[in-house]
Chain A
Amino acid sequence: EVQLVQSGGGLVQPGGSLRLSCSASGFTFKAHSMHWVRQAPGKGLEYVSSIRSNGEFTFSADSVKGRFTISRDNSNDTLYLQMNSLRLEDTAVYYCVRGAGRDSTIAPFDPWGQGTLVTVSS
Chain B
Amino acid sequence: DTQMTQSPSTLSASVGDKVTITCRASQIVGTWLAWYQQKPGRAPKLLIYKASTLKSGVPSRFSGSGSGTEFTLTISSLQPDDFATYYCQHYNSFPWTFGQGTKVQIK
Please report A residues at the B interface, Cβ cutoff 8 Å: 35, 37, 44-47, 50, 59, 61-62, 95, 100, 106-115
Q: Which of A47, A61, A115 has the most CB of B within 10 A?
A: A47
* CB neighbours of B101 from chain A (8 A): 44-45
A44 touches B46 (CB 8 A): no
* CB neighbours of B95 from chain A (8 A): 47, 59, 61-62
A-B contact pairs, 14 of them (CB 8 A): A44-B87, A45-B36, A45-B89, A50-B94, A50-B96, A59-B94, A59-B95, A62-B95, A108-B34, A109-B36, A111-B43, A112-B43, A112-B45, A113-B43
Name the residue on A nearest B53 (C-beta): A108
Partner of B98, one of A46, A111, A112: A46
> Is B55's beta carbon under 8 Å from chain A?
yes
> Is B20's beta carbon under 8 Å from chain A?
no
Q: In the complex, which range does the number of interface residues on chain B fall in?
A: 20 to 34
**Separation of A6 and B43 alpha carbons in the complex (Å):** 12
Q: Number of A-B pairs whose CB atoms are under 8 Å?
A: 59
Given contacts A50-B94, A100-B49, A115-B43, contact A106 B32 (CB under 8 A): yes
Please report B residues at the A interface, Cβ cutoff 8 Å: 32, 34, 36, 38, 43-46, 49, 55, 87, 89, 91-92, 94-101
**Separation of A110 and B55 alpha carbons in the complex (Å):** 10
**Separation of A59 and B97 alpha carbons in the complex (Å):** 13
Name the residue on A nearest B55 (C-beta): A110
A45 touches B87 (CB 8 A): yes
**Separation of A59 and B94 alpha carbons in the complex (Å):** 7
**Separation of A114 and B36 alpha carbons in the complex (Å):** 15
Q: Nearest Cβ distance between residue B83 and chain A, in whole angstroms?
A: 17
